[in-house]
Amino acid sequence: MTANITANPWETGIDELERYALEECVKRQRVDRSISVLILPDKHGEMAIKFARLGIQTVVADTPNHQPDIEGRILAAGLHNEVSFTACTLPELPEFSPGEPFDIIVIRRGLCGLPYEQARRVVRQLLLKLKIGGKLYVSVLGLHSELSEGYAASESSVDQRFAMLSPALAGKYDIQQPVCLYTERNLFMLLLEAGASVLRTLTTTYGNVKGIAVRV
């Protein structure tokens, strides 16, 4: 994969994790046409559109202030029958209907805005919203990345690692909230402690950490 080191880590284009999730949906469609996906969050609805164009029933969960933009983009794409929006502000998770339990859940960015223990509880709740054998795709911001420069919690254990980025990087990437940065091992343990079976983890060239887990 070719990655842009200076890309905003909150907002990346198609990457390994997204590609793996899309490929998994295509595989599942070969044996079952009624595939459902939850994407949380998806600020501009871009990922939801990619899944919906495969004929997959897709639910987007994001903060209420993003609803007009997401629904507008979905309507413009002619996919309003395939995509539904549910207001959601982590760590609270609503009931998702239609669609639940899901075949696939993709969560990007959101877990980093929570302390580790809250993130673990959210992952556990998300696993319960998957079918048995359903897969969870997670992306978090990495400790071994540019974001750790001047990060006050860089030497803290992950359960205590929750702090603002340096002012320069907070402004550069518009991350104006405390975050928990992860190593690849931290994400592996988060998924394991939440009750998932971890299939793989990886660190991208620009420092994000990603994982794939399955509900067993």
Residue 65 sits in the same domain as residue 116: no
Give all strands (DSSP E) within the chain, no chain letters: 36-40, 57-62, 83-87, 102-108, 130-140, 197-203, 209-214
Which tens digit of pLDDT belongs to each residue from 5-56? 334 444 444 578 889 999 999 999 988 778 999 999 876 778 888 999 988 9
Helix (H) and strand (E) counts in the chain: 6, 7
The pLDDT mean for the chain works out to 89
* Block residue for tokens 């559109």: 49
CA-CA distances (angstroms) from residue 56 to 44, 89, 171?
A: 18, 24, 37
How far, in Å, CA of 153 to CA of 179, rounded?
Answer: 9
Q: Render each residue's pLDDT in the chain as its tens digit; 216 residues.
A: 333 333 444 444 457 888 999 999 999 998 877 899 999 987 677 888 899 998 899 999 988 888 888 888 888 888 888 888 899 999 999 888 777 899 999 998 789 999 999 999 999 999 999 999 999 999 999 999 999 999 999 999 999 999 999 999 999 999 999 999 999 999 999 999 999 999 999 999 889 999 999 999
Q: Measured between alpha carbons, how far is 24 from 37 in angstroms, rounded to an integer?
A: 11
Q: Give the per-residue pLDDT at 114.
A: 96
What CATH number does residue 89 fall under?
3.40.50.150
Q: Which of 99, 77, 96, 100 is nearest to 87 (CA)?
A: 96
Q: Give the domain extent around 127.
A: 101-216
34 and 131 share one domain: no
Q: 85, 70 in Cβ contact below 8 A? A: yes
Same domain for 170 and 105:
yes
Does residue 147 share a domain with residue 59? Answer: no
Q: How many CB atoms lie within 10 A of CB 215?
A: 20
Nearest CA-CA partner of 3 in 142, 113, 179: 142
Last residue of one domain, picked from the residues 65, 99, 133: 99
Task: Quote the CA–CA distance of 140 and 69 in Å, as a whole number.
Answer: 24
Any domain includes 13: no
In a domain, residue 17? The reply is no
Q: What is the per-residue pLDDT for 14?
A: 52
